[in-house]
A and B are shown apart, each in its own frame.
Chain A
Amino acid sequence: KAGVTQTPRYLIKTRGQQVTLSCSPISGHRSVSWYQQTPGQGLQFLFEYFSETQRNKGNFPGRFSGRQFSNSRSEMNVSTLELGDSALYLCASSLEARETQYFGPGTRLLVL
C-alpha cells in the first residue's frame, strides 16, 4: 500500500496570507489527524477527522481549520498567517483514531 502523502513538502508564505495543505491517507484509513511540530512546543495535536466529521480538536485558534472529503483525503487551512505558524505540519492516518498512526513526511511551512 502507498503511504501517507502530503503536499506541498515545502512552502514559504508571508504574514497575513493563507495556506492550504493537503494529505492523502493510506487506502482504507478513515481517520486523519493533523499535528503541528515546532522546536519550542513540540508535537501538538490540531484536529482529527473521521468519515468527513471532525471528532477532536486541539487548542488552536479558529484560524486553523480543516476538512475531510468522501475519499478520506484531508486538507487543513491556516488563514491570516503569523510568524509563529512556521512549523512542520504532519498528517497521520489510521484505521481508528486510538490505533497506530501512520505519518506522512510533513509540510514545512515558513512564514516571513
Chain B
Amino acid sequence: SQQGEEDPQALSIQEGENATMNCSYKTSINNLQWYRQNSGRGLVHLILIRSNEREKHSGRLRVTLDTSKKSSSLLITASRAADTASYFCATVDYGQNFVFGPGTRLSVLP
C-alpha cells in the first residue's frame, strides 16, 4: 500500500484563496517532501521537512509535520492560476526508500 496518502484527491478554489493539502503516512520517516507536477511533466521539488522539524516556510508555502500523527500538511497562501497542478507528498525512510502518494489535483480558478 502507499506510504503517503494525500487528502483531498482534488481541490478547486478561487484565485486569492488558500489551499490546504494533507498527507498521511504509516512508518517512521527520515524526511517528507512535497512536489508539484504540471500536467504530465516532470515533478518540481517544493519543500523538504525533516523528522525533527515541525514547520517550514518557503515563499507562499507552509508545511507542517506531526510525526506523532504521521501526517503533514501543505498550505499555499494567496493562490494563483499558475498554482494549478498536482501536488505529491513523498516520504523517505531510513532505508532511503522514496515513496510518493497518489497526489492532490489543485485547480485555481481565475
Q: How far is the CA of A48 from the CA of B95 in the complex (A)?
A: 12
Within 8 A of B (CB), among A16-31: none
> In the complex, are the beta carbons of B2 and A99 less than 8 A apart?
no
CB distance from A8 to the nearest CB of B (A): 15
B97 touches A103 (CB 8 A): no
- On chain B, the residues within 8 Å of A66 by CB distance are none
- Given A98-B31, A98-B92, the answer on whether A42 and B42 have CB atoms closer than 8 Å is no
Q: Which of A90-111 contact B (CB under 8 A)?
A: 90, 92, 97-106, 108
Beta-carbon contact of A45 and B44 below 8 Å: no
Q: Which size class do A's interface residues fall under?
A: 20 to 34
Q: Taking chain A's interface residues, is the majority helix, strand, or loop, or is none over half, making it mixed?
A: strand
Number of A-B contacts (CB under 8 A): 56
Main secondary structure of the interface of B (DSSP, over half): strand
**Top 5 closest pairs, chain A to chain B, by CB:** A103-B42, A43-B100, A97-B96, A103-B43, A42-B102
Chain B residues in the interface with A (C-beta under 8 A)? 2, 30-31, 33, 35, 40-45, 48, 88, 90, 92, 95-103
Show 16 residue pairs from A and B whose CB-CB distance is below 8 angstroms, ordered by the A residue.
Answer: A42-B2, A42-B102, A42-B103, A43-B43, A55-B96, A56-B95, A56-B97, A88-B40, A98-B96, A98-B98, A100-B48, A101-B33, A101-B43, A103-B44, A105-B41, A108-B40
